Amino acid sequence: MAREYTLKRHAAPVARIDYAAELNPQQCAAVTAPPGPALVIAGAGSGKTRTLTYRVAYLLENGVSASNILLLTFTNKAAREMLERVTSLIPNDIAGLWSGTFHSIGNRILRRHAEAAGFRPGFSIMDREDQQDILDAVIAKAGISTKDKRFPKGEVLADIFSYSINTGRPIDQVVAEKYPYFAMLDAQIALLQPQYEERKRAANSLDFDDLLEKTLRLLQSDESVRAFYQRQFQFILVDEYQDTNKIQADFIDALAAAHDNVMVVGDDAQSIYSWRGANFQNILDFPKRYPKAKVYKIETNYRSVPQILQVANAAIEANVNQFKKELQSVRQDTGLKPALVALGDSTQQAQFIAQRILELRDEGADLREIAVLYRAHYHSMELQMELTRHGIPFAITSGLRFFEQAHVKDVAAFMKFVVNPRDEVAFKRMARLLPGIGARSAEQLWNEVDRRLSALPLLALEPAVPATAGAPSPAGTVHFKELLFDLKVPSKALKAWQQLAYTLDEIAPAGKVNPPGAMLESIIEAVYDDYLKEKFPNYDQRREDLNVLGNYARQYESVQDFLDQLALVSSLETSNELNAADDDEMVNLSSVHQAKGLEWKVVFVIWMSEGMFPSSRSLDSSEGVEEERRLFYVAVTRARDELYLTYPILRLNAGYGEAFQRPSRFLGEVPKNLLEEWQVS
DNA sequence: TACGTGGCGCTTTTT
DNA sequence: GCGCCACGTA
């Protein structure tokens, strides 16, 4: 039996926060909960973020060191905002606190222990597109002809593998469920997975799933690493727990195993990421996995007026699988019911929204306090045109992230390659930019580069700048000009190729990597600007994007950190950060998914039509429909004062003329007397 | 093997 | 009304 021995804390600062006064009793109970497992079920708008923020402050005030806290959130922005609020509450230094998304925390851990996980510290992070590229190469290499019989493309394989990893279910099961028409190929598909793994290893590249999975495996297999982080993270806080998947839940469990000091916060009614492997059974079963868990419920809603909340409560009612709860509004009754608006077609729908927004602005509303939400990004197309016509400025958190645009990824490929010369995807992307080099030549060139790289000592492949600040710096000795200059390239590409070799040498002289801002300048000036002019019709726009990227890059000293940001920061966070026009008055257009955690005074939910919302793709299973219903619940609960639910009766079908659309079933589930029907003519 | 043109099919959600 | 893919040509 080990002896229990406690180190005395240095004198804790005098308690400054009056928790009972600043929080409601339910919040306060959760915030001041004793150590040990805790499940906080916090309804929409109930002050979930506030609760977590105060919890962090509470721990710090009670002498817990910041470096012993791990805060896991759904976006990096959410983490940053919480910590800012903590700083405004108490004077403690919180620099040592680890916070961010599961992916970014995984990345941070793996950078430190890359070797133990079977990689080199300078590894690249692949996004979905990179993943598809490499999988297409794996398929080709395996000699599978996609011609004679239908075989899934890289895109589909990525989806299968990813879902399999994130849910911990075998490939054949995933294929049978999600792609039954490929069921007879499942053995062959499963065979490709180890090849994909091998290829990633050779390229020293990790995909998004690896950032979770490899981290978990590392904790499970390496006892010293596990013990280290278990000791470091004495208190674990998890936001949006309902959207964690199996790996994420296991990751938390592994870290918490030694002390069980884990507080998870979430709302099962807002679980909307099952297609990415999220499993809201994690939150429902938390008390089973942690039998000592205390459950705290926070059911007072501060956000929405009662009329909106009633609609929300009614909307979620039809779901069988949930913790029953009834949100109570503390806000004044405005006497204004949410509007149910039927419109002739989608054009009218767009006109209605635009007109109503103009009226709201005349009434003195701030455009930033208005949002239009929809199920899928393409639902917003007509509205965008209509808003433009009326001169109404809007900001979209678009489907395509800023960093996923071709020109951004192109210039990033240069940087990725010099940081990690084994990055097959980055190299090929770079090569294909040159005239006369397509997929085929790029592949051949890579084979030769790969051969030359293998002849170099292992250490030479590390970048000369430390991967993490303070780490010893290995001697980088890759001379890119020597490596590439004399390769055989198509004659059409020769000049550009030599230029490329010089440029790489310039941005990483003798393998010593320049800071990202300077690198970008060289890349653009030496090769990319010409390409951009030639290739894209909207040169000016894209060039401007690259300037923005350059400004952003200059904030970073280390290329590695900069590239990590590109890979791991979500669109929501970048759009604000890059445009920096936060104070511009703009209406927000957003998918419901991206609206998670946000709120506005006025919310329009458009395309409330059967087949659109709920999406027709979700209709074949009851779980699918329940998730759509939760999504609808999320949409409704974004609104503080005014809510409009609109749907067009006619749908203009591409090519096929028009078809009648039934209103969404979700509208029928809300009692008529809770909504006010608007007749629009 | 790279790249331009015509036909076809049809729209989720994202770290 | 648009993007993607396959095919044919330089």
Q: Is the CB of A537 under 7 A from strand C?
A: no
Q: pLDDT tens-digit profile of A372-400?
A: 999 988 888 888 888 988 989 888 876 66
Task: Work out the pLDDT band at A473, boundaries 50, 70, 90.
Answer: very low
- Name the phi and psi angles at A92, rounded to 5: -55, 150
Residue with tokens 């390659």: A417
| Torsion sign across C-alpha atoms A97, A103, A108, A112 | positive
Could you tell me what percent of chain A has a pLDDT over 70? 91
**Nearest nucleotide from residue A431 CA, by C1' atom:** B2
Question: Looking at the predicted structure, is the pLDDT value of residue A287 above 80?
Answer: yes
pLDDT for the residue A244: 95
Q: Is the CB of A490 under 7 A from strand B?
A: yes
Q: pLDDT tens-digit profile of A221-236?
A: 999 999 999 999 999 9
Give the length of chain A: 681
What is the residue-averaged pLDDT of chain A? Answer: 87
What is the per-residue DSSP string for A106-145? Answer: HHHHHHHSTGGGTS-TT-EEE-HHHHHHHHHHHHHHTT--
Least confident of A165-169, A178-182, A217-221, A236-240: A178-182
Of A90-99, A178-187, A387-396, which one has max mean pLDDT?
A90-99
pLDDT for the residue A470: 38
Q: pLDDT tens-digit profile of A309-341?
A: 999 999 998 888 777 777 888 888 888 899 999
pLDDT for the residue A297: 93
Q: What is the residue type of A84?
A: E
Tell me the β-bridge partners of A609: A663
CB A388 within 8 A of CB A605: no
CA distance A162 to A171: 10
Higher pLDDT, A12 or A515: A515
pLDDT for the residue A602: 95
For residues A421-436, give the mean pLDDT. Answer: 91
Question: Looking at the predicted structure, is the pLDDT value of residue A583 above 70?
Answer: no
CB A144 within 8 A of CB A195: no
A134 CA → C3 C1’, Å: 23
Tell me the β-bridge partners of A589: A372, A396
CA distance A213 to A217: 6
Q: Is the CB of A654 under 7 A from strand C?
A: yes
C2 C1': nearest CA residue: A654
Chain B bases near protein CB atoms (7 A cut-off): 1-3, 9-15
Question: Looking at the predicted structure, is the pLDDT value of residue A11 above 80?
Answer: no
The closest of A121, A114, A105 to A69, measured between CA atoms, is A105
Residue with tokens 């039996």: A1
For residues A605-626, give the mean pLDDT. Answer: 87
Question: Looking at the predicted structure, is the pLDDT value of residue A469 above 60?
Answer: no
Helix (H, G, I), strand (E, B), or coil: what is residue A101?
coil
Task: Work out the pLDDT band at A465, boundaries 50, 70, 90.
Answer: very low
A461 CA → B11 C1’, Å: 44
The closest of A380, A314, A316, A267 to A628, measured between CA atoms, is A316
DSSP state of A267: -
What amino acid positions of A are annotated as catalytic residues? 48-49, 239-240, 270, 638
Question: Looking at the predicted structure, is the pLDDT value of residue A467 above 50?
Answer: no
pLDDT for the residue A194: 95
Question: Looking at the predicted structure, is the pLDDT value of residue A581 above 90?
Answer: no
Q: What is the residue type of A224?
A: S
A4 CA → B13 C1’, Å: 49
CA distance A122 to A58: 37
Question: Looking at the predicted structure, is the pLDDT value of residue A438 above 70?
Answer: yes
Question: Looking at the predicted structure, is the pLDDT value of residue A471 above 50?
Answer: no
pLDDT for the residue A466: 44
**Nearest nucleotide from residue A573 CA, by C1' atom:** B15
A379 CA → B11 C1’, Å: 10
pLDDT for the residue A628: 93
CB A631 within 8 A of CB A295: no
CB A481 within 8 A of CB A502: yes
- pTM score: 0.90
Number of helices (H), then strands (E), belonging to chain A: the values are: 30, 19
For residues A456-466, give the mean pLDDT. Answer: 57
A589 CA → C4 C1’, Å: 27
For residues A429-433, give the mean pLDDT. Answer: 91
Helix or strand (DSSP H, E) at A561: helix A559-568
Least confident of A12-26, A145-159, A206-220: A145-159
For residues A11-20, give the mean pLDDT. Answer: 72
Q: Is the CB of A655 under 7 A from strand C?
A: yes
Question: Looking at the predicted structure, is the pLDDT value of residue A363 above 90?
Answer: yes
A171 CA → C4 C1’, Å: 28
C6 C1': nearest CA residue: A147
Residues 526-585 of chain A within 7 A of strand B, judged by CB, are 568, 570-572
What is the per-residue DSSP string for A594-641? Answer: HHTT--EEEEEE---BTBTTTBGGGTTSHHHHHHHHHHHHHHHTTEEE
Higher pLDDT, A337 or A469: A337
Task: Work out the pLDDT band at A543, boundaries 50, 70, 90.
Answer: confident
A403 CA → B6 C1’, Å: 32
Structure tokens at A630: 């939760």
CB A71 within 8 A of CB A34: no
Higher pLDDT, A620 or A291: A291
Burial A647-673 (b: 16+ CB within 10 A, else e): bbbbbeeeeeeeeebebbbbbeebeee
**Nearest nucleotide from residue A212 CA, by C1' atom:** B15
Task: Work out the pLDDT band at A461, boundaries 50, 70, 90.
Answer: low
Q: Which residues neighbour A456 within 8 Å (Cβ) at sequence distance 6 or greater? A: A477, A478
Q: What is the residue type of A674?
A: L
pLDDT for the residue A579: 54
Q: pLDDT tens-digit profile of A30-76?
A: 999 999 999 999 999 999 999 999 999 999 999 999 999 999 998 88
A148 CA → B7 C1’, Å: 21
Q: pLDDT tens-digit profile of A549-579?
A: 898 899 999 999 999 988 887 655 555 555 5
What is the per-residue DSSP string for A203-244? Answer: TTEEEHHHHHHHHHHHHHH-HHHHHHHHHH-SEEEESSGGG-
Q: Is the CB of A13 under 7 A from strand B?
A: no
Q: Is the CB of A436 under 7 A from strand B?
A: yes
Residue with tokens 């000091």: A261
What are the angstrom distances between the C-alpha of A396 and each of A295, A430, A578, A583, A589?
38, 30, 13, 15, 5
Task: Work out the pLDDT band at A548, boundaries 50, 70, 90.
Answer: confident
Q: Is the CB of A444 under 7 A from strand B?
A: yes
Q: Is the CB of A108 under 7 A from strand B?
A: no
Question: Looking at the predicted structure, is the pLDDT value of residue A460 above 70?
Answer: no
Structure tokens at A635: 């949409």
CB A545 within 8 A of CB A410: no
Q: What angle do CA A27, A30, A36 make, to 5 degrees?
A: 175
pLDDT for the residue A533: 84
For residues A568-595, give the mean pLDDT. Answer: 71
CB A579 within 8 A of CB A619: no
Chain C bases near protein CB atoms (7 A cut-off): 1, 5
CA distance A315 to A331: 20
Question: Looking at the predicted structure, is the pLDDT value of residue A301 above 80?
Answer: yes
Q: Is the CB of A180 under 7 A from strand C?
A: no
